A and B are shown apart, each in its own frame.
Chain A
Amino acid sequence: DIVMTQSPLSLPVTPGEPASISCKSTQSLLHSNGNNFLDWYLQKPGQSPQLLIYLGSNRASGVPDRFSGSGSGTDFTLKISRVETEDVGIYYCMQGLQTPRTFGQGTKVEIK
């Protein structure tokens, strides 16, 4: 199985400042078609998770452009250009290359 490792696991942030989360996989998620099969999900407090970024760098519908995904192969990054208070929650990366699907441990983003 592909193991996903996120860092940091806790990220205190200041509103208006940037934030960055790393996600690494034990196997390359780069498919021969050029896509990276890595998605990001956000679980806001008390809510169900929601899709944020798909195929490494594509924002899901309705996701603000302050969110961006980058990376390829085994190393990926989610960046928030300017954190807003509504961005608090737990961010998960998940590989979509094969089953069983696997999530990272989650990164808890909270306001300082």
Chain B
Amino acid sequence: EVQLVESGGDLVKPGGSLRLSCGVSGMNFIAAWMSWVRQAPGKGLEWVGRIKSKGSGGTTDYGAPVKGRFTISRDDSKNTLYLQMDSLKTEDTGLYYCTHLIYAGAYGVGEPQLASWGQGTLVTVSS
């Protein structure tokens, strides 16, 4: 069974930095594409960004609100996904989910589905 466990959420001041981690088990992490999705309190889901497996180039993509401030990385030796968040703003407050992506169909075409989700870790940006 795939398990995703996020950690690192905290209260941080505007302009500060934070690094989230997502520990992964139950799957071949080296081959996995992963993403982060966030949810502001009482609001809907927002895609933060995605990292491909190293075998697929290891490239990253980000949503406009976080581009240039957030960085997704991975340590395949530790089965861990990271989200480095810099220059944090109050609007970055929310629950951050780590997700595992798989192609449920149409392999290699378009973007894969968000097949598994962690329970989330809470980030609060406030002075």
Interface of A toward B, CB cutoff 8 Å:
1, 31, 33, 35, 37, 39, 41, 43, 48-51, 54-55, 58, 60, 90, 92, 94, 96-106
Contacts and interface: CB of A to CB of B under 8 A. Distances in A.
Contact of A58 (B37, B97, B105, B120): B105
Contact of B44 (A50, A58, A60, A105): A105
10 contacts: A33-B109, A37-B106, A41-B114, A49-B114, A60-B104, A60-B115, A94-B47, A94-B114, A101-B47, A106-B44
Contacts of B113: 39, 51, 54, 60, 96
B105 to A, nearest CB: 5
Nearest to B119: A48
Interface in B71-122: 97, 104-106, 109-115, 117-120
A60 to B, nearest CB: 7
Interface of B: 35, 37, 44-47, 50, 61-64, 97, 104-106, 109-115, 117-120
A102 B114 CA distance: 12
Q: Chain B CB within 10 Å — which of A90, A94, A100 has the most?
A: A100
B53 to A, nearest CB: 16
Task: Pick the 9 closest A-B CB pairs, nearest first.
Answer: A48-B117, A99-B61, A101-B47, A96-B111, A106-B44, A37-B110, A54-B104, A100-B63, A35-B106
Nearest to A50: B117
Given A51-B113, A92-B44, A106-B45, 7 more contacts: A49-B114, A51-B115, A55-B106, A58-B105, A96-B110, A96-B111, A104-B44
